[in-house]
Structure 1
């Protein structure tokens, strides 16, 4: 009997999920804890999510409605 481990799943170990509500929508980003030196060191992935644990990336229309842009680097400054 062999144990199957999916290789296409990203494990969110030692990660803090930062949540924000804006324009009646919830957004999330996945960050490493205790990192404040550089944005690239803090972010685990350069994506804004609707739900991090399910891997659901936020819809472009929702980002534009809530933040006025779909530029994710600019949106990270709101968090």
Structure 2
């Protein structure tokens, strides 16, 4: 099978989208966790939970994006 030729700028766009999704979801998780910690007076609990959820959602979104990029849809 012959692979589809892609422009180098498409790869740069993919890397930028991956970076923004990973960083954005992680930051949202961290700041939401910090806010919940201040609200409920539980110092590191929600920060850690928010960090882990943000990372997990970022990786999931990254995998969906890469799958979509390489499937050609």
TM-score (norm 2): 0.23
Q: Of Structure 1 and Structure 2, which has the larger fraction of its residues in helix?
A: 2
Q: Of Structure 1 and Structure 2, which has the larger fraction of its residues in strand?
A: 1
Larger Rg: 2
